[in-house]
Structure 1
Amino acid sequence: MADDPVQSNPNHYRVAFENDRVRVLEYTDEPGHTSVEHHHPDSVMITASSFRRRLYARGTSLDVELPEGAVRWLSAQDHYGENTGTTPTHAFFVELKEPDPNPAPRPMSLGPEGT
């Protein structure tokens, strides 16, 4: 399993809030930045800016373009990402601390359907 993003990418992730049920991370980067591989538990991502990224996980990649104010579900995953756009990335991740009752592997996705 990859590292906690706050440990592996300390200049880009910070803990904005935490209690016994959730942890909220704030993420920022600049165009051209590539993060170090890290792990997210099941999470909800809220974008605070529009951005384009390429995500890499399990030998595959996924290009995404998201508007400011988008809300997406992220199943637990290890990944790293690259800012492929011309604008900074700014997003928040609400990480769930409770384990998934059905932990079957799921494909990487940032689709609006929440899958």
Structure 2
Amino acid sequence: MADPIAVNPQHYRLVFENDRVRVLEYSDGPGDTTGTHSHPDSVMVTLSSFTRRLRSGDREADVELRAGQARWLDAQEHSGTNTGSTPTHCLFIELKEPHVESPGQDEPATQAAHLGPADS
């Protein structure tokens, strides 16, 4: 698992951590990119409106979010590019408790069903 702070120290900053959660602040500017990194199950809170393209393997997703949203982020590995004209600024509240899989669920955490944040 590639830690976002280790891979992208210019964009991620540790805000808070205890034995249950880790809170990261993320910021970048138009055209900035990130190297491939991983997030566990997380809640993402947008502090600015932004547009980005996320990549994971051969999958890509364009994401456009407004400031003040809270979105669920399935555990995943991705890289990204700020494709808009505004800075990206958000918080990631990463959960440390292990994900409890439902019977018959066999999708690995690095290949989340939904790339990027989900509506629910």
Aligned length: 112
Alpha-carbon distance in 2 for matches of 1:75, 1:110: 7
Alpha-carbon distance in 1 for matches of 2:88, 2:116: 18
Structure 1 moving runs of 4+ over 6 Å: none
Structure 1, unaligned runs of 5 or more? none
1:56 aligns with 55
2:81 aligns with 82
TM-score normalised by the chain length of structure 2:
0.89
State the superposition RMSD in angstroms.
1.2
1:25 aligns with 24
Q: Could you give the per-residue CA deviations for residues 46-87 of structure 1, whole angstroms, max 9, x where no partner exists?
A: 000000000001310000100001111011100011000000
Q: How much has 1:109 moved relative to structure 2? A: 4.0
Alpha-carbon distance in 1 for matches of 2:71, 2:57: 20
Alpha-carbon distance in 1 for matches of 2:76, 2:59: 13
2:117 aligns with 110
> Rg bigger for which structure?
2
